[in-house]
Chains A and B, each alone.
Chain A
Amino acid sequence: MTAYALRRVLIAIPTLLVISLIVYSVLALAPGDPLSSLAASTELPAEVRENIRIQFGLDQPIYVRYFKWLAAYIQGDWGYSFASRLPTQKLISLRIPTTLWVIGISYLIAVAIAIPLGVATAARQYSKFDHIFTALSFVGFSLPTFFTGVILIIVFSVQLRWLPMVYNQQVTDPIEWIKQAIMPITVLALLQAATLSRYVRASMLDNLNQDYARTARAKGLAERVVVTRHVLRNALVPVVTLIALQLPTVFTGAVVTEQIFRVPGIGSLFISSIQNNDTPVIMAIIMVFAALVVFFTLVADLLYGVLDPRVRYR
């Protein structure tokens, strides 16, 4: 187990390095100067601008810059934001709690809806109940988050005037906070619950016809007990790893939701830094996202091994 875990970690590190190389090259090879906003605004003479470029090392070849960047990055020096002149880490750490709250709650709600729904639809496969919820889950994951968000705003903010249209970070009152967070959370939870419940259902169906389920039924156990105590435990093994695998996608997907409701999280920071050409922040956020993906893939791999004893560590 330890050897396996170590090997997975050792694979994860080069993956992250390659991603950083890809993102760095995308940024470095792009037309346009990262300093253009800095230099153009003050109408500097050409030689001064050249001096700035040399000072920042922009005259050096790409691979030298990449390794310098990498060395600084590993040491925790993520640079300063061009737009706000704050250290990048500070900027990101200011935004992350909001994102975590909204995403964390919506994901918990999604899991809490998806598991019972998946179990119930699988237990009554091809019943009317199953058909209705299968169709609904298709609706759920075919609805793009920006459209769900727009519909919710039209219904609850414009027509009924129950909920505020945009998220306000200054709010401290918990009830007010719930009122403003409820729409972004619903949007994300709906999409995730729809996707996850499909997987729970498929995994349950795989297990319901297995020999051990038949044995349990033959013992005279009630179907309820067979489903909840025997089959569910096994069916959840792939689902748990899937929950871990999906989490980073939820993070990146939240970019859109944060944009609609003006939630000041890491996603809206990303959009605004792209629009401001704020290279250090863009780079840092993509690396945070990439690290999340790699980390949760690792977690999923390890969890699968722990939960399923049939998995052998090679």
Chain B
Amino acid sequence: MSTPETASAIGGAAVATADAPAVPRYNRSLLGDTWGRFRRHKLAVIGAFLYITMTVLTVVGPVVWTTPINDIDFSASNQFSAAHPLGTDDLGRDTLARVLWGGRVSIAVGLCAMLVAITIGVFVGAMAGFFGGWIDITLSRIIEVFLSVPQLPLLLLVIYLYRNTLVAAFGPEMGVFIMIVAVIGGLNWMPTARLVRAGFVTQREREYVEAARCLGAGPARIIKHILPNTLSPIIVAGTLSVGSSMIAESTLSFLGLGFPPDVPTWGRLLFDAQNFLTIAPATALIPGTMIFLAVLSINFVGDGLRDALDPRRTL
């Protein structure tokens, strides 16, 4: 920043060197601007750092800390020790290994459910907003109905009823994973659809769309043109839905309706620990804190992105 100024301050001689521009040049891009604004939101930066650290830890952790998650150590107590830095659970299984492994599942569920929700939401919203007319009316009604469905009860019901079918089809871990991701995502797409629809309705009549139409672009190509202009709210909604999906997954696990007992997730660990709160509160507090920190950091990131992507704000 200061280099061009000092260069020009030195005098006309500097102009002779072709490389040094007299006028400061800003290389501005959408991404750069967004990052510049995002950086100012301190909590969001901390959140992003924390979330990435947790993801890396859960991915790398089980490779480094090789104690198996289902190995029962009969001699272990629930105290912290060198062999079990975070103690063991009621069966003598290593808490650290289970928390690391459980984080993988919890974080993966959050991200995958977000992808499902965003995909459905963008598709439905784009269709409704772009085509209008009866398609819009029908899809908007569907969105309204889905918003009126009591989510948590239906989530619990579907998972309880269809668990065995999917487990039979895809195996105990994959079956439950697919089902939980599909159901959480499938009940979480409506806010995105509404945002995308609103974006499309305002963009539809813009000049660039008209120009594209004049050049003979079909609906698919025009939607491709409009979509990037509706991206900001999608990114924010997507980020926030990672957090709510993680809460939904851990709620299911906490109610004993999530993953099977031998697949640790943070919610499941908390569920298993809740009967031993009097003797081993740490086994409940550790996975609970992990859920809390992950959700908190992702919420901060979402808030930071909301500010950073707001076109009304200038750098």
Contact = CB atoms under 8 A, between A and B. Distances in A.
- The answer to whether A and B come from one shared complex is yes
Interface of A: 15-16, 18-19, 22-23, 26-27, 30-32, 135, 138-139, 141-144, 146-147, 150-151, 153-154, 157-158, 248, 252-253, 255-256, 259-260, 270-271, 274-275, 282, 285-286, 289-290, 292-294, 297
Interface stretch (B23-31, B191-199, B290-298): B290-298
List 5 A-B pairs, minimum CB-CB distance, nearest first. A289-B150, A30-B161, A142-B296, A147-B288, A142-B295
A30 B255 contact: no
A146 B148 contact: no
Contacts of A259: 255
A164 to B, nearest CB: 13
B251 interface: yes
B43 A135 contact: yes
22 contacts: A15-B148, A18-B145, A31-B162, A138-B299, A138-B300, A138-B303, A144-B250, A144-B251, A146-B288, A151-B285, A151-B288, A154-B281, A154-B284, A158-B281, A252-B151, A270-B156, A274-B257, A282-B157, A290-B148, A290-B150, A293-B150, A297-B148
B254 interface: yes
B247 interface: yes
B52 interface: no
A27 B162 CA distance: 10
Contacts of A150: 270, 274, 277, 284-285, 288
A144 B292 contact: yes
Contacts of A146: 250-251, 254, 267, 270, 288
Nearest to A139: B296
A170 to B, nearest CB: 23
A32 B250 contact: no
Nearest to B246: A144
A31 B165 contact: yes
A142 B274 contact: no
A142 B302 CA distance: 12
A22 B146 CA distance: 10
A138 B120 CA distance: 28
Contact of A285 (B153, B164, B250, B278): B153
Interface string B143-159: 01100111111101110
Interface in B166-222: none
A286 B288 contact: no
Given A139-B296, A144-B295, A286 B251 contact: no
B149 A26 contact: no
B160 interface: yes
**Residue among A32, A144, A253, A260 with most chain B CB within 10 A:** A144
B303 A26 contact: no
Interface string B87-128: 000000000000000000000000000000000000000000
Q: Which of B144, B162, B255, B267 counts the most chain A CB atoms within 10 A?
A: B255
Contacts of B153: 252, 255, 270, 285-286, 289
A142 B299 contact: yes
B146 to A, nearest CB: 9
Contacts of A289: 150, 153
Given A147-B288, A256-B255, 15 more contacts: A18-B145, A138-B296, A138-B299, A142-B292, A144-B288, A146-B251, A147-B270, A154-B285, A158-B281, A255-B153, A259-B255, A274-B157, A274-B160, A286-B150, A294-B148
B257 to A, nearest CB: 8
A27 B43 CA distance: 45
B205 to A, nearest CB: 21
A259 B271 CA distance: 11
Contacts of A248: 150
A188 to B, nearest CB: 14
B259 to A, nearest CB: 15
Contacts of A142: 243, 292, 295-296, 299
Contacts of B255: 255-256, 259, 271
Contact of B152 (A30, A158, A255, A290): A255
A154 B270 CA distance: 13
B154 A286 contact: yes
A290 B152 CA distance: 11
A147 B154 contact: no
B162 A30 contact: yes
Contacts of B144: 15
Contacts of B148: 15-16, 19, 290, 293-294, 297
Interface string B240-252: 0001000100110
A15 B145 contact: yes
Contacts of B292: 142-144, 147
B158 to A, nearest CB: 6
Given A19-B145, A252-B151, A26 B284 contact: no
A158 B150 contact: no
Contacts of B160: 274-275
Contacts of B270: 146-147, 150
Nearest to A282: B157
